[in-house]
Structures are given as structure tokens and as C-alpha cells.
Structure 1
Amino acid sequence: MLGHAGKLCFFRSVAKVSFDGRCNITPKRMSTMMRHFSANPSSNQDEVILETEGNKCLITLNRPKALNALNLNMIRKITPALKQWENEEKVLIIIHGTGGKAFCAGGDVRSIIETRNQPTSTLSCDFFREEYQLNYLISTLQTPYIALIDGITMGGGVGLSVHGYYRVSSDKTLFAMPETAIGFVPEVGGTYFLPRLTGKLGLFLALTGYRLKGADVYHAGISTHAVNSQENSEIEGCLAKFTKAATFLEKPFSLEPHMPLINDCFSAASVEEIVAQLKASNDPFAQETLTTIRKMSPFALKITKRALDEGSEQTLAECLQMEYRLSQRFVADHDFPEGVRALLIDKDQKPQWKPSSLEECTPEKIQSYFEPVKDELQL
């Protein structure tokens, strides 16, 4: 993966690129800037490190032991910084993660579930509201925003990257939206960007939690550019140059042979019909996919299918508002806490879903998840 030195070289090179004539610094000044970025050892204890040099900015997600999982404290540091930098007309913002394994492996949902029944806790409301507001803010930035999605990028990490203008992946990137496995819905704007991927790829990724690795992240349209993980990477023409030189992209999209089947099966009108078509297929990939789907929360699958169908016709703001409603219903219900328990707390990998089958998911309960909540998300 891109080591610290590699990320600094990437920053040095990118900072030479001109954005509307506002950013043009010499290697000498860049060297001074990078010394400044490394000169505050006390900040290494912070979960988010915010650094600026002149009109350039760097965000470092700094929870390596937790794979840089996003929590409310981190959101509350990043959001005002982005607003301030936008107002100050900075010319460059880069976000990356420490530890060498992950950009950001998701949101800290374990804390949300563990505190949800505490009488004074508002974490389940505050976290999702402020996370989605941050996702929307990233989508509206005029300042060039570059996410280095090197390593694991899931859930909340997707929200920190996919809405920005530039997403740079490597051969070590691992992307997934695995929420249905914990009885939840692919959110952080997932109901907006997933339906806009090629064909029915987004719905396939949403329902199955399928993991895209290396070149697949770029071929699927998740990243805008790519670099070899071991190179000192040098936005526009600079990134294009290194994308062209990213030799791992010569590996074809692993899902390409399966796209006809994915488009056919996942074009069905309901999850039940998707399952039926997969079951009827003799293709080994269809059977593998069927096995995966059967492990997921049936209710989460039903909600996810409807949410992506609606999201395909909505704006990002409308999708995030829908997702906020869904998040509050999932937190208060059975499957999301049960999924977090089974996969993240007890780790017995044996969630007991309620309802236990797709057929038991009533239209009335599904509709109730999409109804307005008391305090709607404001963007």
C-alpha cells in the first residue's frame, strides 16, 4: 500500500498541479510544507489530524487499530474544517488513512448499538444526521477534494470518498457495502451512487456485499483514478498519467463475464424474483450469489431493493434524507442490533433475523420505514 513516504510524494506532486491558476508552488516550498505536516508529533494521538500549509490541506484518519472506522468525534472535526477551508478558498484537500491497511473500514456502528438503550444517549440520531450532512458537504465542495482510498474502504469510508471529485484507488483497495449482512441498508449516499453504476451492478453490490478488489474498484467506476501501491505517486493530467501507468489495471474486470447474468437476474421487480432467477440458473456464479444472499437479513434486502429503486430517481439530498429515516428505523428495530451483535460483538456469525424469510416481510412494515421521522435530516 502507499506508505507514508509515498503519500507525501503524492501530495508533493499533486500540489504542483494548477487549479484555475490558483495553485502553483515550487518543490522547495512543497518541501517546507511537508516538513510542517510532519512537525506536530502530539497530534498523532488525535483520531483526525488536520494540517494546512498555505492554501493546501490534508486530513488524516488516525484510528489504525480500528481500521480508521469513523466515529462522531471524527465527523465533528472534519465538518467544520471543510467549511472553513471552503470559505478560505483553499485550492486542494486530500484525505487519507493511517496504518497501511485501510482508508476507512466503515462507521463505528458498534458504539451506536451499544448505547442505543441508554436513556440520555442521542448517538444514534446524532451520528447518522451529522455523517450524512458531512457526505452532502463533500459533494458540494468547490475546492478539489481527493480521497486516497488505499486499502479497506467500506460503509462510512465510502461516504468520505465517493461523493468527492477525485477518488484514487490502488491495487490494494478493497471496496464493499456490506450492510445487508448486519441487517442494515447501504447508506452514506449509497442509495444514490449505487443505482448509477453500470447496469445492475450497484444493486448486485448492495444486496450481496460483494467485495471489489484492486483493478475492479476502478473498472466498476468507484474510483476516478488509480496508482500502483508501491510507486511514489505524483489532479487532472497528473492523476491521468499515473492511472495510465497503473499496471494492475491491465487485469480485466472480474465481474465482466458475469454482467449479463447480473443484469438479467437483478433487473427483476422484487428480491423474491431475483432469488428465483438465481435459483433457476445453472451458472456456478449464480449459485454462489444465491448462497450469499440467503445469509443476509431478509428485511434489509427488501428495504435495500426499494431504497435503490427510489434512489435512482432522486437527488443525493433526497437519498440522504431517505437514508436518515431508514437508519432511525433500523436502529430501533431487531435486525440491525442483532447483526452487529452476531458479526461485530459476539462474532458468532449466526444472526437470528426477524422476519426470517422474504415472504414474511410485510408491505406495511416496509412502508413504515420510509415514513417521515420526528426530526427530519436538514441539509
Structure 2
Amino acid sequence: MNIMEAPVIIEVRHNTGVVALNRAKALNSINLEMVNIIQDALNAWETDESIKQVLIYSTSERAFCAGGDIRDLREAVVAGNPEFGDHYFQAEFDLVNHLGTYPKPVIALINGIVMGGGMGVSMHGSHRIITEKALAAMPETAIGYVPDVGFTYFSQQVTTPAIAKFLGITGRRLSPADMLWTGIASHFIRSADVEAFTTTLLQDSLEAALGEFSTQPAEASTLAAQAESIEATFGQKTWALIDAALAAHPDVAFRDEVYQLLRQAAPSAIVATSALMNANREAQDLREGLDNELIMALHMIRQPDFAEGVRAAVVDKDRNPQFGSVRAEEEYAALIKK
């Protein structure tokens, strides 16, 4: 295979290990091959004293990474091989933990869509640099699944538990200003400066690049403007209490927006996400958070809602999933406590 056709291009440039996500037609959806390529590179660079930092970016102008390769995962599950998912998630979550505990700076440069698994290879790094083209979300509840790749732990470290639970349950899209306000992103540069920023980063230093090009987005965070309403509703412990608080909330526009987002979600995934977020509010570190997510992930992919949700979203694309019933939140919580 020509190196430029590889799904991930691995290079060393000056003192930087470079990871270029290169599966543009699939919006860099991460599959097991990509996970293994990145993990092998990180392993090699970790003890290489000539490598001082790692840069992760996308060769696509549309997306940094739109998530995990859920189409392949669904096919395996439907074929009676959910163990494929077990192996995939274990490898992916190990990579996420490695990135989150890496002893050298890890710089993610996000100049497009970043969702799901893409958050896993970006938000845990030391520097999460975005442009005005960045758009982030964790839309897993819409496919009968739960937010993963460390989001249910990390998001509660950088913002409040209520904001984190709101984002995880609703899958609401985040603007660049929202990403900075929550702490999911750490720095902002203009997309017109990406090439110059990268050159300065590689040839001089990260500090010099940030010093020259770091700025702020023009628009304010709409999420920040909704913070009071989010805290009053999603600050409740269980989904049942959140639902009741939403029904009684006086801000009709906010309430209607949330209900519109929730119409896309599987009821089972909403309740499971609430239970998972509660568990990871108490997690001691990223590894524990990922382990809790893994338990829930392997349970959810074995449920009919997952196959149906992926069918409606990416296979048939009719956006009309027929989701099933939901368990009590205590039952989802008990899965993690076993």
C-alpha cells in the first residue's frame, strides 16, 4: 500500500511524532486497524528521547474524525459475533487511556467534525486546538448506545456534572465557543492559520505556535447562556428526576429544544447514560472511567436498540428507528457495580 493511501499516516518530523488520520471518504471513522496503527506509534515514541511531542490531525477538510466505525460493528453483532465489539472496544479504550496518560505533550488539531471516537483520540491530550470549522458532539444515544471513549469521565472533570450529563444524554452539538467554554477544547486558532501554525509547531515549538496564532472565536457560547437552565434540570440524580424537572421548567424555549433533541434518542440509552454518568462522577481516574464505560458498552451492543439505531442512522438512513422498552435506571447502575 502506498503510504498516502494508509488509513493513518505515521511520520516523524523534526522532534514531533505525527499521526495523520487519512480515511477521508469515511470521515476518518476509526476502525480496529487505525487503533492499532496509532497505538503502535505511541508505543514506539514513548521511549524515544528524540521525540518530544505528538501531533494528531486529519488530512480531510471536512472532519477530524466522525466517530467509530459502527457499521462494521453492527454487521458483526447482527451476524452473531458481538465478540468483535468486545475486542474493538477494549483496544480502542486502551488507546484512549494511553493518550490520556501519555508522558509527552499530545496535541490534537481539530479543523472539522469531531464526534464519538474522534473525541477519544483528541480530548484527552494535553492540548486540544480547534478552529472555527470545529463541530463536536457525542450523539450515541441516537443509535441506542452510550457516550464512551472516556467522555463520561473527562467531561465531568472539565465542566459540571449537569452540563456533562446534558451533553451525553442529548447529543447536542457544540460550537467552537461551546467547546472552549466547557474545556473540551483548550485553544482556538483560525483555519486560515492552520498551515502556518503547524509549520511553527514543527520547526520551532508549541509555545511559539500558540503565542503567534492562538486567539478567540468571534461568537459567544450559546451553551453558556443555557447553563442555569441545564443545572436546574440535568443536575438531578436520575433520569426520572431530570424528566420531571424538565416538564416543570419555566423556560419553554429551552424545554422545547431539549425535547427535540431527545426525540432522536433511544429511551434505553438515555437511562443507561444517566446511570453511567453517575458512576463516572465517582471514578478515580480515566482508566476506571473507561472500565465502567466498557461494561456498559458491551451490554448495549448486545441489545436490539443498538442494531436498530445504527440501521436507521447509517445503513438505511431513514432516521426512523423503532426503539424498544427501557429498564429501570437501577438495573443499569447495577451492571457497573458487579
TM-score, structure 1 as length reference: 0.81
Structure index of larger Rg: 1
Instruction: Provide structure 2 residue ranges, at least 5 long, that are not aligned to the other structure.
Output: 201-205
In the alignment, what sits opposite 1:206?
168
Counterparts of 1:371 and 1:114 in 2: how far apart (Å)?
Answer: 30
Query: How far apart are the structure 2 equivalents of 1:43 and 1:81?
Result: 15
CA contact (8 A) 1:132 1:188 kept: yes
Find out whether 1:310 has 2:270 as its counterpart. Answer: no
Judged with a 3 Å threshold, the aligned counterparts in structure 2 of structure 1 residues 362 and 121 are, in CA distance, closer, same or farther, namely: closer
What amino acid is aligned across from residue 77 of structure 1 in structure 2? I
Q: Is the 8 A contact 1:279 1:290 kept in 2?
A: no
3-state SS in 2 of match to 1:332 = coil
Q: Distance in 2 between matches of 1:156 and 1:304?
A: 16
Distance 1:113 1:51 in 2: 32
Q: Is the 8 A contact 1:179 1:209 kept in 2?
A: yes
Gaps of 5+ in 1: 1-40, 373-379
Cα contact 2:275–2:329 (8 A) shared by 1: no
Deviation of residue 117 (structure 1)? 4.2
Question: Match of 1:27?
Answer: none
Alpha-carbon distance in 1 for matches of 2:46, 2:60: 28
Q: Aligned partners of 1:121 and 1:191: how far apart in 2?
A: 23
C-alpha distance 370-84 of structure 1, shift in aligned 2 (>3 A)? same
Q: Secondary structure at the match of 1:296?
A: coil
1:175 alignment partner in structure 2: 136
| Equivalence for 1:343 | 313
Q: In the alignment, does 2:294 pair up with 1:324?
A: yes
Q: CA-to-partner distance for each residue in 1:112-133, whole Å, 9 max, x for gaps?
A: 1101244667421111000000
Q: Give the secondary-structure state (helix, strand or coil) at the position aligned to 1:350.
A: coil
Displacement of 1:269 in angstroms is 2.2
SS at match of 1:255: helix
8 A contact 1:155–1:186 mirrored in 2: yes
2:22 paired residue number = 62
Q: Percent identity?
A: 36
One-letter code of the match for 1:263? Answer: E
- Tell me the distance in 2 between the aligned counterparts of 1:226 and 1:145: 16
Cα RMSD for the two superposed structures: 1.8
Could you give the per-residue CA deviations for residues 165-207 of structure 1, whole angstroms, max 9, x where no partner exists? Answer: 0110000000000011111110000111122233321111111
144 and 293 in structure 1: CA distance in 2 versus 1, 3 angstrom threshold: same
Normalising by structure 2, what TM-score? 0.91
Q: Deviation digits for residues 199-247 of structure 1, max 9, x if unmatched?
A: 3211111111000122222222111111011123242353144223x4x
TM-aligned CA deviation for residue 361 of structure 1: 2.1
1:259 is aligned to 2:227: yes
CA deviation map 1:242-272 (0-9, x unaligned):
223x4xx242111222110011111112212
